[in-house]
Structure 1
Amino acid sequence: MIEIGLNAVIVAVADPHPQVLTIAPPGGGVPPALPFGPFDPTRHRTFEIGLREWVEEQTALRLGYVEQLYTFGDRGRHHIHSDDGPHVVSVGYLALARQTARSDAALAQQNARWRSWYSFFPWEDWRAGVPDVVAAEIMPALSAWMRAPVPAGSPPRAQSREDRVRQAFNLQGLDEEGAGWDEEKVLDRYELLYEAGLVEEARRDGRPAALERDCLPGLGLAMHYDHRRILATAISRLRAKLKYRPVVFELMPPTFTLTDLQRCVEAISGRHLHKQNFRRLVEKGDLVEATGETSTATGGRPAALFRFRRDVLKERPTLGLRVGGR
């Protein structure tokens, strides 16, 4: 028997962190979850209609921009001993939103809340350089895992453990500014940590590698079912999409300073960007236009306010901000 589930990764940016909307599933001690629910063909004409209905019911939030992310259907997605029941195939969606005081008050009444996605993926925030957890915990643990014998019966891999770790983390190829780090490989890195038994979900799911060792406590908050894997997929998608579509403006207010825009891009990409280089990227892409007004919100000199130049969508089929090490 197969059931179809619908999962929403809803992203906003509240300086200086990218936020993901989470709910508290029924039952005590259950990790935070993404908004989710089953597709009901008697109620929902389409998957997206069903998703929007579940999100509004669980969070009181009405979604704007939504795109289908991926279909998650692997056997054993939840718990290794629970496959006797219906097999759940989940259709994941990525949605972008803007936080407001009014929406936050409604969320609180629904027992939903925004959380920094770096609370789930602390190794992905490179804005201040290599995260401490990478050198102190992750790389020593992965080095030991690379040296350990591969268990009998493991599925064959086209690449060795060493090659996969090197491509996912690539610490040897970095320069002082982090060039060479591929911020888009969020899912690759999470799946390596899961396979090596280093994250809580691997222990909870009964994976042998996790039962043989202690999980690393510094590797972020666990999530309900495989929702952290779904979130990793969404982060990878959004980081890639920044480079060829102007999706960042879906997260910005109608008017903003260039500093506000830079902080938003840095929050999503997990990278520090040089101010002048970033402004050249924006100017070269002709993505914004000055409003003629200024903001004094920073308390310093008045900063010029800009807005997204929507006409650019008619002029070029692909445009974005080519940030990052690729």
Structure 2
Amino acid sequence: MSLAIELSAVVVTVKDNEALVLCLNLPRGEAAFALPSGPFIPENHRTFDLALRAFVREQTGFDIGYVEQLYSFGDDGRQGIAASAPDGDRVVSVGYLALTPQAVQARFDAAWVPFNRFFPWEDWRRGDNNPDLEVLRPALRDWCDTAASATEHALRLRRVETIFPDDFDNWNEERVLDRYELLYSVGLTGEAQRTRDGGPPAPSSGEPMASDHRRILATGLSRLRGKLKYRPVIFELMPEQFTLLELQKSLEALSGLRLHKQNFRRALDRTGFVTPLGIMREDTGGRPAELYSYNRDQFHFSPSLGLSLPRA
């Protein structure tokens, strides 16, 4: 058995107050979507980064902007998407997070898909009650109750209560990967049923993806949610001119949280990251709103500063 290296891209944008990820449309089968992925061929590619950009361009029809490496995924039994990997090869995928400010029209065999299709329990913008999560809770409780011992039951219950807390104030939006992996280990996701030859996945467990691409996607969303707070990466997803409400709605779409408007704007003012342009936008559906731009020079003075996400 030899080793094949695959590169997979989590390409993110925000449009109409929804966080979207770029996916490849798959033929009918166990999953409808996969992340853009391709093989790394040392003879053809000088760097991982250049290889990633090349095959994303080939598969989706446009160039990606901001890119950073996520993690390497090489669990035994994962099935790669790279068509050039010989049968029987152990496939290791190197995941990347890429951000683009526009949902550029993808080719016919690619589509922008809302994150909520894959992780419906992550969206709390409707309020403190999350109906998708409430559907999953009975199955999680049943899993705790099937523990072989009181000690194991206590460990399972603590794990569930930590990453799927009943109290929204204790919800950590960055633990997307932890929550997905718990649902997978309990057997509630489509990917788990696929590998265990079980029944249908639990309701509200999200749409499965090819191979372990939903795990890669969860890793990317976890990284992005954390990075919003200590680096100004949100502006990689914004147009050149935007209103403060558009900026807030974009952050809400990515974090899955409703933000407190006044507290958010006070915290934003302290960063110096936005500059008013003195231009009013009339097509807001309400009062005209002033347009702003990102002050990139400020990043040189505060390179470790992101944006505060005060909850509503």
TM-score by length of 2: 0.91
1:76 maps to 2:77? yes
Q: Is the 8 A contact 1:125 1:131 kept in 2?
A: yes
CA distance in 2, matches of 1:108, 1:36: 15
Structure-1 residue corresponding to 2:83:
none
Structure-2 residue corresponding to 1:294:
280
Structure-2 residue corresponding to 1:230:
216
Structure-2 residue corresponding to 1:309:
295
Structure-2 residue corresponding to 1:242:
228
Structure-2 residue corresponding to 1:154:
none
Q: Structure 1 residue runs of 4+, over 2 Å off?
A: 27-31, 76-79
Q: Is the 8 A contact 1:98 1:252 kept in 2?
A: yes
Structure-1 residue corresponding to 2:99:
96
Structure-1 residue corresponding to 2:249:
263
Structure-2 residue corresponding to 1:168:
163
Task: Report the residue type matching 2:46 in the other structure.
Answer: R
Unpaired segments ≥5 residues, structure 1: 152-156
Q: Deviations over 1:3-57 (max 9, x none)?
A: 00000000000122100000023x4334200000111111111111111111011
Of all paired residues, the percent bearing the same amino acid is 49
Structure-1 residue corresponding to 2:175:
185
Task: Report the residue type matching 2:209 in the other structure.
Answer: M
1:28 maps to 2:28? yes
Kindly report the root-mean-square deviation, in angstroms, between the aligned alpha carbons of the 2 structures: 1.9
Distance apart, 1:288 and its partner CA: 0.6
What SS does the aligned partner of 1:52 have?
Answer: helix
Mapping of residues 145-156 of structure 1, within 5 Å: 145-149=143-147
Task: Report the residue type matching 2:72 in the other structure.
Answer: T
Q: Is the 8 A contact 1:23 1:113 kept in 2?
A: yes
Unpaired segments ≥5 residues, structure 2: 81-86
Q: Deviations over 1:261-280 (max 9, x none)?
A: 00000000000011111111
What SS does the aligned partner of 2:46 have?
Answer: coil
Mapping of residues 48-67 of structure 1, within 5 Å: 48-67=49-68
Task: Report the residue type matching 1:28 in the other structure.
Answer: R
What SS does the aligned partner of 1:219 have?
Answer: coil
Distance 1:150 1:202, change over 3 A: farther
Q: Is the 8 A contact 1:122 1:131 kept in 2?
A: no
Task: Report the residue type matching 1:3 in the other structure.
Answer: A
What is the aligned length?
Answer: 299
CA distance in 2, matches of 1:193, 1:21: 23
Q: Is the 8 A contact 1:71 1:89 kept in 2?
A: yes
Distance apart, 1:76 and its partner CA: 2.2
CA distance in 1, matches of 2:185, 2:79: 14
Distance apart, 1:150 and its partner CA: 5.2
